[in-house]
């Protein structure tokens, strides 16, 4: 595996790094800057806090940006990032590497980072949840010192946001408080835990038509995802027309602000935080799971789902679909943008599951209990179009029973 920090170090830089680690000072009490020529080391003997950040996507990026702005730029802490390795994708018949947005930010802002050592090699193995322990983080010379693989640095704070690896006890032990009773590594989870434990809490809040959600900051547990002690929780309303992307972005920013507030309130003394056991909250918040979502979940069932359930499904998945006969073969009609439903006060004008147009040529879908205005749609494997173009090409077929 390519070692991120190793390239571009002079012998004097390596010597200084080694002296830092064999002495009392650790990597995070040095100041690293990365540029196209390599790394420079300065202010090695200061007393900055040491933060280890785990993240991968847009949701985690907002936290990294704010923590970097508030603590690193103000010379209060050094931050080191663990992020997933690049994904391989085929584009124009060639294989290309796609790096996660967290890695891109690190490269653009001189933030040191590494990738976990890959344990799984086959596509089937990679579908499994990867477990991450201390030995799975590369023994980079600037973190561990040359030929000093037994050295295990301690950290003042760990932050985990939208990171799919399961962190195990050997790694979590690096974040124990001085008295050994509490942990200083926290996860930002976008739900009111213990409700919606799992990888897709925002999706499920919208699927279920919830009117409020929240952000919960918890200690990490070494046995299970999303069950650790709660240290901070805040409720947020969900707007009736809010989509996944809108709610995702809002909660991402709120989560970043909450953890910065938490750090400032306790001044890195996390032992003073009040911790609440999730088991003590089950009378007010029912524990539920939020499993991964997929394309198949977007298929509509007009007999089982009413107009509001269908609208909520679109809000959560941002595209829903129905079987569609496209000329000589079966396909899918994918609805990508729809408007808030109009409830039927009387007998609907069309059978349930019918696409029809009104006297302005607007496109509607009749559902149980109301109708939805269709704005943008796509026939599977074809270019998406607005409803006007669809109507122009299919006017003779409308109304159309799906």
Number of domains in the chain: 2
pLDDT in tens, the chain (402 residues): 333 333 333 343 334 333 333 233 333 333 333 332 233 333 333 578 999 999 999 999 999 999 999 999 999 999 999 999 998 877 777 788 899 999 999 999 999 999 988 776 666 656 667 888 878 887 665 554 454 455 456 789 999 999 989 999 989 988 987 777 789 999 999 999 999 999 999 999 999 999 999 999 999 999 999 999 999 999 999 999 999 999 999 999 999 999 999 999 999 999 999 999 999 988 888 999 999 999 999 999 999 999 999 999 999 999 999 999 877 778 999 999 999 998 876 667 899 999 999 999 999 999 999 999 999 999 999 999 999 999 999 999 999 999
If asked whether residues 193 and 333 sit together in one domain, one would say no
Whether 154 is covered by a domain: the verdict is yes
Pair 182, 172: CB distance under 8 Å: no
> What are the phi and psi torsion angles at 63 (to 5°)?
-65, -45
- Beta bridge partner(s), residue 41: 32
Domain boundary among 254, 281, 308: 281
If asked whether residues 159 and 204 sit together in one domain, one would say yes
Whether 2 is covered by a domain: the verdict is no
Pair 267, 282: CB distance under 8 Å: no
Q: Is the peptide bond before 243 cis (omega within 30 degrees of 0)?
A: no
If asked whether residues 193 and 336 sit together in one domain, one would say no
Domain harbouring 356, CATH code: 3.10.25.10
Q: Which domain holds residue 256?
A: 11-281
Pair 132, 171: CB distance under 8 Å: yes
If asked whether residues 123 and 213 sit together in one domain, one would say yes
Greatest extent of the chain over all pairs of C-alpha atoms, in Å: 83
If asked whether residues 183 and 317 sit together in one domain, one would say no
**Tokens 């933060």 sit on residue:** 51
Whether 1 is covered by a domain: the verdict is no
If asked whether residues 42 and 191 sit together in one domain, one would say yes
Domain harbouring 71, CATH code: 3.40.50.170
If asked whether residues 265 and 321 sit together in one domain, one would say no
If asked whether residues 274 and 318 sit together in one domain, one would say no
Whether 35 is covered by a domain: the verdict is yes
């Amino acid at each position: 595996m390519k070692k991120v920090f190793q390239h571009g170090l002079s012998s004097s830089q390596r010597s200084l790094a080694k002296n830092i680690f064999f002495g009392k000072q650790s990597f995070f009490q040095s100041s690293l800057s990365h540029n196209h020529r390599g790394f420079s080391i300065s202010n090695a003997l200061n007393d900055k806090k040491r933060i280890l950040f785990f993240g991968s996507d847009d949701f985690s990026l907002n936290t990294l940006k704010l923590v970097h702005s508030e603590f690193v730029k103000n010379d209060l802490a050094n931050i080191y990032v663990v992020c997933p390795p690049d994904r391989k994708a085929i584009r124009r018949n060639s294989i290309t590497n796609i790096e996660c947005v967290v890695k891109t930010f690190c490269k653009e802002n001189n933030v040191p980072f590494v990738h976990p050592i890959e344990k799984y090699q086959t596509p089937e193995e990679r579908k499994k949840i990867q477990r991450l322990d201390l030995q799975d983080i590369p023994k980079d010379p600037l973190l561990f010192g040359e030929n000093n693989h037994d050295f295990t640095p301690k950290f003042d704070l760990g932050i985990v946001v939208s990171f799919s690896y399961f962190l195990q006890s050997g790694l979590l032990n690096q974040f124990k408080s001085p008295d050994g009773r509490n942990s200083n590594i926290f996860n930002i989870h976008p739900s009111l835990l213990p409700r919606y434990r799992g990888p897709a809490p925002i999706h499920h809040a919208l699927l279920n038509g919830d009117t409020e959600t929240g952000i919960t900051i918890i200690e990490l547990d070494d046995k299970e995802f999303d069950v650790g002690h709660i240290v901070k929780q805040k409720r947020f309303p969900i707007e009736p027309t809010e989509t996944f992307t809108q709610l995702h972005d809002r909660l991402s920013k709120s989560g970043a602000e909450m953890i910065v507030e938490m750090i400032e309130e306790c001044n890195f003394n996390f032992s003073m935080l009040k911790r609440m056991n999730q088991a003590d909250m089950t009378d007010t918040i029912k524990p539920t799971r939020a499993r991964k979502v997929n394309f198949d979940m977007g298929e509509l069932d007009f007999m089982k789902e009413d107009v509001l359930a269908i609208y909520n499904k679109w809000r959560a998945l941002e595209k829903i679909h129905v079987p569609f006969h496209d000329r000589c073969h079966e396909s899918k009609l994918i609805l990508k943008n729809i408007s808030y439903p109009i409830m039927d006060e009387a007998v609907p004008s069309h059978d349930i599951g019918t696409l029809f147009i009104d006297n302005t040529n607007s496109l509607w879908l009749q559902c149980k209990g109301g109708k939805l205005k269709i704005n943008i749609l796509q026939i599977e494997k074809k270019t998406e179009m607005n409803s006007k173009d669809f109507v122009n090409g299919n006017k003779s077929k409308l109304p159309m029973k799906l």
